[in-house]
Chains A and B, each alone.
Chain A
């Protein structure tokens, strides 16, 4: 570090330039340098997934089939939605242990509201259930900020209380069935081959347009931009991956509709996190609360909003989970759900220490967690206990990697 500063000082007279037009060669060189210094981005996760997939394939030939993998997407959708909300919570350096039962509350409300004696139509009950889960998040946030309590404790209380609410609501029935096809079709719809292609092509075109336009905007603004060949290279990679995905899905039942929902939320929430003041403030509060406060950011308000967002996403996840099962039972929200959702965000690379992480980490992490769940389920004679152990070990590995990379950053920093 010391030598670095000296080097910098030697060029003191030069003005800082905002425009850094890198050539393709320089860009690739930088990229490799980053990779070598351990800034690997999503590579370890994807690599990890490939290894896990290969292990399962040797044990259970049914694993790498289109049928199973599209099913996996449906299985992971609920967890991924909940984990999207958890990412924002973790960015603040907080935790929300209540999301699993909040998701169950949304599921129960939706299911019961559509049944007699209420008979509320789904298009009213669905938003109501989401509003309810958002209000629960609001309640948690207000309690945490008003009394300055650790989110851990307040949401733990929520975890217990909301599980009780689920039990009481469902009551003696044991299970509330969802017959409304508008709801069950959320997870049971598989796109036809043609629609699958249309969706894939729209995704590729949208990606290409936003990528080119945002790079052009940076160029026009005189900011560092990527060389065009790199932009095109990325577009080709995305296109190939998307096409491969569509072909693979189409070779089975087709692309699950929830894929579209997962991507839409991914894009929307990523925009919120990366491109809006709110997102910037979430990172700032997670990075240095005092700095955020002195910058005039209403820290407590941001925290409350984030708990509301987590409640809302828990609601979305709950609706998807309820739709998949076609019912909500007294055990809804229990089991591994909470830990899977938190593990997903962390395994995907969002730091537990606040301030570092991306929305997509929820999706990648959910993929890993649910792959383990799904794969071990295919292998005969593997107990639920073994599943939990493996998931726990993967989570541990992810947290260790997080801690190490944090220390590394501090070392290369200051």
Chain B
């Protein structure tokens, strides 16, 4: 694991009207690392992710990508940098098959504007094989006919197919059973083995302790602490989530 963060936010702040969703949050993830992002409901996890993904802009603070300060104004900007987000609600089109979903929006075409199905199917199969997502009977099945774990795997594979460097997963195992959670966690592990930086939001501490290298805890929009998994216990995390020390009520400098 390299120690240089590939993606870093410095002092990012986000307000929605009167609500202070994020307050001077510093967050980072390194290549080959699995960084878990935890926190109670409303802690600001999704807001942080959406800011990084370009869905909306932070009010203050900077985002650095590979040590360069970057401005991400749209999801397109994020993907151009190599940042892909797998949202909680999957974002797959049920009526399309696996290949069509993996290439959606970036189809290859040949003469007469004809979709180059052969080359897309091949790349799709190669990507799935490289991630060991091999439980599908065929990549030509409509996504509707797949199991939850398979669907999640496709969504993740879709995110990594485009030479992405950072993959952000919002609650990837929330809707899954035991066996399927296993599938997805294995997949997450393989992403980091391939050198990708992975950010995983989850409520499930058990899952997190299984795969994460570090665990960042958000509470009420502030970054309470970042734990090394090896040196911490589930109790430490729960404590930080519920009673972690906040920098503050403005004006009152602690820490």
Contact = CB atoms under 8 A, between A and B. Distances in A.
A18 B95 contact: no
Contacts of B146: 413-414
A409 B134 contact: no
Interface in A270-294: 275-277, 280, 283-284, 286-288, 290-292, 294
A223 interface: yes
A277 B148 CA distance: 27
Nearest to B145: A413
B138 A13 contact: no
A356 interface: yes
Given A18-B125, A284-B93, A218 B118 contact: yes
A292 B93 contact: yes
Interface in A245-267: none
B233 interface: no
Nearest to B119: A221
Nearest to B141: A413
A272 B135 CA distance: 32
A355 B95 contact: yes
Interface in B111-134: 113-115, 117-119, 121-122, 125, 128-129, 132-134
A409 B144 CA distance: 8
A12 B179 CA distance: 13
A79 B96 CA distance: 29
B139 A290 contact: no
Given A1-B147, A9-B179, A413-B94, A280 B107 contact: yes
B87 to A, nearest CB: 7
Interface in A1-19: 1, 4-5, 8-9, 11-18
B250 interface: no
B115 A287 contact: no
B96 A283 contact: yes
Given A16-B136, A284-B104, A292-B104, A223 B121 contact: yes
Contacts of B179: 5, 9
Interface size class of A (residues with CB under 8 A): 35 or more
A20 interface: yes
Interface in B136-195: 136-140, 142, 144-151, 179-180
Contacts of A222: 118, 122
Contacts of B114: 275-276
A146 interface: no
Interface string B81-112: 00000010111111110001100111101000
A389 interface: no
A412 interface: yes
Interface in A312-363: 355-356
Contact of A221 (B107, B118, B135): B118
A381 interface: no
Interface-central residue, B93, B109, B121, B132, by most chain A CB under 10 Å: B93
Q: Counting chain B CB atoms within 10 Å of each CB, which of A15, A224, A284, A287 scores highest?
A: A287
Contacts of B150: 5
19 contacts: A5-B147, A8-B135, A12-B135, A13-B134, A16-B139, A218-B118, A224-B140, A275-B113, A275-B115, A277-B115, A283-B100, A284-B96, A284-B100, A291-B91, A296-B106, A355-B94, A412-B145, A413-B94, A414-B148
Interface of A: 1, 4-5, 8-9, 11-18, 20, 217-218, 220-224, 275-277, 280, 283-284, 286-288, 290-292, 294-297, 355-356, 409-410, 412-414
Interface of B: 75-76, 79, 87, 89-96, 100-101, 104-107, 109, 113-115, 117-119, 121-122, 125, 128-129, 132-140, 142, 144-151, 179-180
Given A12-B132, A276-B113, A295-B91, 7 more contacts: A5-B149, A11-B134, A14-B134, A16-B128, A221-B118, A223-B118, A224-B138
